[in-house]
Structures are given as structure tokens and as C-alpha cells.
Amino acid sequence: MDTGNAAWMLTSASLVFLMTPGVAFFYGGMVRAKAILNMLMLSTAALAVTGVIWTLWGWSIAYAGTDVAGIFGDPASGFLLKDTMVATDGVFGSVDVKDAAYPHSIDVGFQVTFAMITVALITGALAERIKFSTWMIFVALWITFDYAPMAHMVWNHGLLSPDGPISTALGAAAHDFAGGTVVHINAAVAALVTVLIIGRRKGFPKEPFRPHNVPFVMLGAFLLWFGWFGFNAGSAFGANGTAGYAWMSTTAATSAATLGWLFTEKIRSGHYTAMGAASGMVAGLVAITPAADVVSPLWAMVLGFIAGILCCFAVGLKFKLGYDDSLDVVGVHGVGGLTGTVLIGFFGEGTGLFAGGDFKQLLVQVVIALVAILYSGVITAIISFALEKTVGWRVTEAQEVGGVDLADQGERAYDFAGTASSILKGVK
């Protein structure tokens, strides 16, 4: 055991945990004032429900259970973490494999934070109109039947892994360093499918839906960038040179993506907006995630710049195609995740078309992205449709107009009436 590796992985797990509060503020600032508490609560449910499911059987399905057809592990082998935790003299510690770089128990914590942030990303598409109770049920089902199997397929020698059957058949090792498929494509497809099932907000697309607190959006974006160092650099699974390079490539790509979005925005509208800067940051973070360890500094910046431009255009697709992805999960995470995953086939060192390789890497990246899209789409459709037909997704129209905060949380984020009353009393 290396205490440096253990300390780094505990730190990384904590950084990734911070990303879910970050996304709560990022999304919370974008919605109208009458829905911010609900947005924060949806991320709270992502943390709480996922933490329970992961402890019960999610970890086992993703990483601990006996493999079933390369798609999932059985939920019994690691049920209640029995494969990783052991008590010695009444104190629990970790069941570790020989020559492990850090305790097995730390990996359980690191991986649950990935599950938490992935399902939290979906909330941006569902803003201002869903029941909190239905969302909690969705989280439990989606982590069980979608996220955990997808993590198994990509990161635990499954169907979409570097040593899996698709990679073997196509003659190149599929690459997803930290979650282009498992996290971003997966969440974006789930968001789109669920939106199509539950329908648009009242007034979309004719009424304006302006962000009520842009500083919150910026705060969330900065927290996400900070947390992403654990997300990407932590995926090196040690305090080593790969972690250091992933930190730097993440910074380079995100910086370039921010500029790409801002330059595009300036040409289109004549302004460099704070909303654009925040969105560009997230687009770059998303795009570099699958590629952070295999693209050179130059290609990292090119990848980020391309993602910034593409995502800036992609967020307008919902108006052209008519789906109400409230806070652009599809445009940023779907397009950004797909861009980063596919561009490994061009920029991946030694395997990409522009970096000393051939077409095989590109082909395998496209195939694993398509399989991830198909799996997420089918599983999410079944879950979301079942919930729509049983407990229902939507608050009533009157509750939506009045504000989902009052309808579901029974609270307001801002006491405007009380503030005005205090001001008037002071004047008197």
C-alpha cells in the first residue's frame, strides 16, 4: 500500500463529490426563482438515494459481482459491500487484493461519487416540472439498471471495455478514461428520452425562461472545474504522472473550450456572456473526460476548442426540434461527450488518425458510443415510461405556474414580500 496513492484517491473522491453540489448551483441559477429549491433538492436526492443503492447492490453490479454476459455483475457478491469491508477486533477496514496501490474501500467511495454526479446531470433537462417523489424512485431504478451496468461494461472488463468483445472484434482497444460514455453520453440520452416522455414546460418555446441568478451559474461552473480534477486526474488511480498530465490536459482543453464558446457567441450575438463562459467551461470538461490521458497538449486544446464551438451551436437544437431540454443537458453533455469520445479516434496518441494510428481506433470509438446510446435509451425509456404510467412525473399545471418550490418543497428561496415589508417599515 502506498499512503500517497491512498491520500490522493480519498481527495479525488471528495473532489468528485463536490461536483454534485456544483451542478446543483449551476442548474439552480439557470432556472426561474420559483424553482431553485427544487433543483437543489433534485441533486440532494441524487446524492442520498445513490449512496444507499450503491451500498446495497450498485457496487456489486458495477464492480464486485460475478460477470453476466459482459453487461453487469451479479448484485449478491458485493451486497452491502461484503466483498470489500471486514471487521478486525470490532473495527471495519478494507479487504484488499495483493499489491494493491490503495485500499479497496477507497475505490468504493470514489466510484459512488461518479454514480451520484451522473444521475444528477439528468436533472437539468427536467427542470421546473417534475415531482420530487418520482425523481427519487427514478434515481434508484436508473442507478440499478442503467448506470451500474454501464460502468461494468466499460470499466470492469465488460462488453465495451478495452479487452471486451467489441474491441477484440474491431482490432483496437476502446478508450473511455473517465466517463465520456458512462457519464456524459449516458446521462444526456437518459435526459432526452425522459423529456420526450414527460413533455414540455408550460409556455415552451414561446415564453422566455431566463436564468434568475447568473452568479450562481458561474459559481457552479467553477466548482465543477475544481471538482473535475478529482474526476479526471483521479481516474489515473494513483498519485502519478498520468494524474498530473490529466490535470493539465483538463485545464488546457477546458480553457480552449471556454474561448471557443465565447468567440462563437461574440460572432453570433456581439457579446461575451457569463452564461456562455460557464457553459463553455462545462463543454470543455465534458469533452476531455474520455481522452484526458491519451491526447497531447496540442490536441487537448484543439479538442476543447471544437467542443466549445459545437456545443454552443448544439444548445439551439431544442428550439428547432421542439424538445424541452430545460438547461441543455443534451447540447452540452451529449454533444460534448460524443465529441470527446469520437475524437480519440483522430487525436489519441499512437492510435488516432492524426496521431500515428489508423481508422481502427475511430471505428471502435464510434461503435462504443452508439452502443452506449442504445443501451441508455432503451433502459431509460422503460423506466421513465413505467413511472409516467404509474406514479406520474409531472406536478399539476397550476403547481408548475405557481412554482414547483411551493408545490413540492413548501418553501420559497427568496422572501421578496418580507424584504419589501422590512424596507417599508424602515422608511417609515
Residue in the block written with cell 446524492: 47
Identify the band that residue 420 occupies on the pLDDT scale cut at 50, 70 and 90. very low
How many residues are present in the chain?
Answer: 428
In percent, how much of the chain has pLDDT > 70? Answer: 97
99 beta partners: none
SS3 of the chain: CCHHHHHHHHHHHHHHHHHHHHHHHHHHHHCCHHHHHHHHHHHHHHHHHHHHHHHHHHHHHHHHCCEECCCEECCCCCHHHCCCEEEECCEEEECCCCCCCCCHHHHHHHHHHHHHHHHHHHHHHHCCCECHHHHHHHHHHHHHHHHHHHHHHHHCCCCCCCCCHHHHHHCCCCCCCCCHHHHHHHHHHHHHHHHHHHCCCCCCCCCCCCCCCHHHHHHHHHHHHHHHHHHHHHHHCCCCHHHHHHHHHHHHHHHHHHHHHHHHHHHHHCCCCHHHHHHHHHHHHHHHHHHCCCCCHHHHHHHHHHHHHHHHHHCCHHHHHCCCCCCCHHHHHHHHHHHHHHHHHHHCCCCCCCCCCCHHHHHHHHHHHHHHHHHHHHHHHHHHHHHHHCCCCECCHHHHHHCHHHHHHCCCCCCHHHHHHHHHHHHC
Q: pTM of the entire structure?
A: 0.95
Looking at 1.10.3430.10, 3.40.50.2300, 1.20.58.110, 1.20.58.100, the CATH number of the domain 3-421 comes to 1.10.3430.10
Identify the band that residue 423 occupies on the pLDDT scale cut at 50, 70 and 90. low
Residue in the block written with cell 424584504: 419
Q: What is the largest CA-CA distance in the chain?
A: 80
Mean pLDDT of 73-78: 96
Per residue in 82-130, pLDDT tens?
Answer: 999 999 889 999 998 778 899 999 999 999 999 999 999 999 999 999 9
Give the list of residues 6+ apart from residue 131 with CB closer than 8 angstroms, or none.
Answer: 391, 392, 393, 394, 395, 408
- Whether the CB-CB separation of 151 and 73 falls below 8 Å is answered with no
At residue 424, does pLDDT exceed 90? no
DSSP structural state of residue 401: H
- Whether the CB-CB separation of 190 and 142 falls below 8 Å is answered with yes
Per residue in 271-309, pLDDT tens?
Answer: 999 999 999 999 999 999 999 999 999 999 999 999 999
- For residues 371 and 71, give the distance between their C-alpha atoms in angstroms, rounded to a whole number: 12
Measured CA angle at 172 (ends 168, 173), to 5 deg: 85
Instruction: For residue 160, give the amino acid letter.
Output: L
pLDDT at 378 (0 to 100): 98
Mean pLDDT of 153-178: 97
User: How high is the mean pLDDT of the chain?
Assistant: 95
Per residue in 325-352, pLDDT tens?
Answer: 999 999 999 999 999 999 999 999 999 9
Per residue in 5-18, pLDDT tens?
Answer: 999 999 999 999 99
Identify the band that residue 1 occupies on the pLDDT scale cut at 50, 70 and 90. confident
Distance from CA of residue 27 to its chain's centroid?
13
- For residues 349 and 291, give the distance between their C-alpha atoms in angstroms, rounded to a whole number: 10
In percent, how much of the chain has pLDDT > 90? Answer: 93
- Whether the CB-CB separation of 35 and 402 falls below 8 Å is answered with no
* Residue-by-residue DSSP string for 90-114: TEEEE---TT-SS-HHHHHHHHHHH
- For residues 119 and 35, give the distance between their C-alpha atoms in angstroms, rounded to a whole number: 19
pLDDT at 421 (0 to 100): 52
Identify the band that residue 208 occupies on the pLDDT scale cut at 50, 70 and 90. confident
Mean pLDDT of 237-259: 98
Reduced to 3 states (helix: H, G, I; strand: E, B; else coil), residue 172 is coil
